[in-house]
Structure 1
């Protein structure tokens, strides 16, 4: 298995064979359905470049010591259906090694390919979504593979339970889809004015959890460079504490970080997204 020339935290973590690394980074530079600002195809490389500025020790542990292998980016030059299949296969290859998959996007639609592979491997599991948007439209701009439809594919097509954190922009169709599919949603307006709920996840939520983190779930004051920023989002430690609460007494089986749209004149969002990725590794 060949490793990508750009390695996550390559400045701090020595290169090892894939079999000897616990964390497997899968870059997915896919951008086809963005509906406002563009640039997410450049997100994975920007995160990898910024990761070289991270410290191995994050203040209380060093997740990278378990080994980090960075895969060659997924081929995203075909139709949406083919790209989803390529993502699915990349995650399947990681799961075959009994390792932990981490996807770096790219637009949010990439999550479906990972969920399909994990569903095949684990059966039922729960999704925890950090996002400004609900992403529950059945289709958007004429395609069901839109970034605005990815969670609809998860609950409708894959039948996976979903908890949403930090939403603050959704349409009536998505509001109705929440009720139909019994999606638990803690919107940003509530979370930003109250303590973390004790019952953040329902009692019957599966023990295994996948986190999908759209960086626009954070307030634009934290990560401004994303295609569809929305005011009133989660702050840094608030989001990390919510993630910790979500996996408390549960098993994290993978995660993705999506929708970074890097700018040539600023590395702020790139670095914070790399920092976020490393912080989520620490939850495993």
Structure 2
């Protein structure tokens, strides 16, 4: 009997876990099939901070998540393990966040020339730090993929998955990205930061392996992003207002989901910005926007993607931010999104069975 099977035999998924790992599971990086890379990074956030605490908030709340999934038998047995939260990444994020915040404030004041010498070099410094973060994520992803592990990422802000996407692009010649988000994130070097949280979709599209970007729930975007989404034949956007209009007029969510899935190629990477959901589910996220989805709407869509026979090659969950001390709501919701996505990812890879 393998070590993993010995661990499974001894663990009671219905009892109180004594393990302090993600979801209270008994696995480690050697016995888990899925490795979660936590990235506590939020250097370029342009509104409210806090997403760097997302991995810790989700970790803490995950211990309250029940492991049973009625449509995926023994889902927990696949094994999910989150790597230790990297303190050096968090420390660098804190330091460069101060620098970036002061720079953004200078921009908002009209970039006074008398302070140009003080702030002129900031974008270059922040871009270098962000590039190093992306490289770290890339190396982590490559390391665990080389071991045959499934890999997902937990942010941090929406700039954090680029390294993972680049690593997967080296394995897959043609794949799509399914983006759940309130924002288009198609800005080029927003606020002069090349790796801005508002530029993740723009940066991902630089990879020729990405044949399609399907955006769902977009409701806060600039004119340049709207033009790009319309004119770039690799982008299909399902705007929140259009989804709502069709629903009000009687179109079933099932049919809308079928239309979304039809736009996707066979292999799909999923990026979920928590602000794609209704803000009541993520009130402390950095840039909440009225509108959005219920949790079960998106989980239904994700199940439909898997049921269609498409293969998930990776995913991320970003922009979860805890509230005041003692407020676990955002982490609670994030933990449930993470667990369900982990199981659907495993099912699409043939490591779990989905009804």
Confirm or deny a common fold (TM above 0.5): yes
Within the alignment, does 1:279 sit opposite 2:331 as a pair?
no
Structure 1 unpaired stretches of 5+: none
Q: 2:225 aligns with which of 163, 166, 174?
A: 174
Which has more radius of gyration? Answer: 2
Whole-angstrom CA distance in 2 between matches of 1:267 and 1:138: 34
Within the alignment, does 1:165 sit opposite 2:216 as a pair?
yes
Structure 2 unpaired stretches of 5+: 1-18, 94-128, 346-355
Within the alignment, does 1:7 sit opposite 2:30 as a pair?
no
Within the alignment, does 1:22 sit opposite 2:33 as a pair?
yes
Q: Is the 8 A contact 1:168 1:189 kept in 2?
A: yes
Aligned-residue Cα RMSD (Å) equals 1.8
Q: Is the 8 A contact 1:6 1:70 kept in 2?
A: no
Whole-angstrom CA distance in 2 between matches of 1:6 and 1:112: 29
Within the alignment, does 1:189 sit opposite 2:248 as a pair?
no
Aligned residues: 276
Cross-structure match for 1:266 = 327
Secondary structure in 2 aligned to 1:9?
A: helix
Stretch of structure 1 that moved more, 27-36 or 67-76: 67-76
Q: 1:66 aligns with which of 70, 75, 78?
A: 78
Cross-structure match for 2:310 = 250
Whole-angstrom CA distance in 2 between matches of 1:102 and 1:283: 12
Q: Is the 8 A contact 1:116 1:158 kept in 2?
A: no
Secondary structure in 1 aligned to 2:160?
A: helix
Q: What are the within-5 Å matches in structure 2 for residues 215-226 of structure 1? A: 215-226=274-285
TM-score by length of 1: 0.91
Stretch of structure 1 that moved more, 160-169 or 149-158: 149-158
Whole-angstrom CA distance in 2 between matches of 1:167 and 1:44: 24
Q: Is the 8 A contact 1:8 1:25 kept in 2?
A: no
Following superposition, which runs of at least 4 residues in structure 1 exceed 6 angstroms of deviation?
none
Whole-angstrom CA distance in 2 between matches of 1:70 and 1:90: 12
